[in-house]
Amino acid sequence: MSQRLQTARVHDPRPAIEKLFMVGAAIFAVAAAAPNAAQAHGDNISINGLNFGDDEDLLEQLIDLDADDIEDIRHEMADAREEIAEAIIEIEDAREEIKEAPGGAVIAKIALSTASAVVTKTTGKIFEEIKADLNDAADELETLRGKLSDAEYDETKMAISMLREEIAELETALSDLTDAMRT
């Protein structure tokens, strides 16, 4: 029996606890930084050089886009969704590792739920503003239709449509992320 005790492996919880603190610190940083980042620019939101919520004329910016600019925006949005998908995987991995630490699952749940609420609130306001600005630009485009060439009108209408689709997909990805944080 003494040999069994000597050869029994004692589980060292330190790596799991260290991981818990690292994840907790990262989550806290995200939760603290998200509202500050959103407010750092006041009401200005920028996506690939397009400025939303400021005094610049969004429609004018959209008219100035060419096919390459539109494709660049698509790629940037796809990259953002990919990063969100990777973050979801990292959250699940961290959650599994944290389970080994005493109380880790509870602490992680509280931290992730808090971060989820902050991300949801902050991004919700941003998306509302972007959608409103795109709606205003679309309405203004219709009033300017006679002053634009058919090519400018069609390309601008396509840019607005693409941005609406990309924003909707980004919202879905962020919703998946916040769901992963809460569960």
Q: What is the pLDDT of residue 20?
A: 53
The model carries a pTM of 0.72
Q: Which of 18-22, 53-57, 67-71, 143-147 has the lowest mean pLDDT?
A: 18-22
Give per-residue pLDDT as tens, 109-167.
787 788 788 888 888 888 898 999 999 999 999 999 999 999 999 999 999 999 999 99
Give per-residue pLDDT as tens, 36-64.
444 444 556 777 777 787 656 889 999 99
Between these two residues, 52 and 14, which has the higher pLDDT value? 52
pLDDT, averaged across the chain? 78
Task: Judge whether 178 and 116 are in contact, CB under 8 Å.
Answer: yes
Q: What is the pLDDT of residue 52?
A: 80
Tokens of 78: 């796809």
Between these two residues, 13 and 74, which has the higher pLDDT value? 74
Whole-angstrom CA distances from 66 to 79, 137, 150 are 20, 17, 14
Q: What is the pLDDT of residue 183?
A: 79
Q: Domains of the chain by range and CATH? A: 15-41+57-182 (1.20.58)
Tokens of 21: 């603190």
Between these two residues, 152 and 108, which has the higher pLDDT value? 152
Whole-angstrom CA distances from 45 to 8, 115, 126, 128, 130 are 58, 21, 8, 11, 8
- Go through the chain and tell me how many residues it has: 183
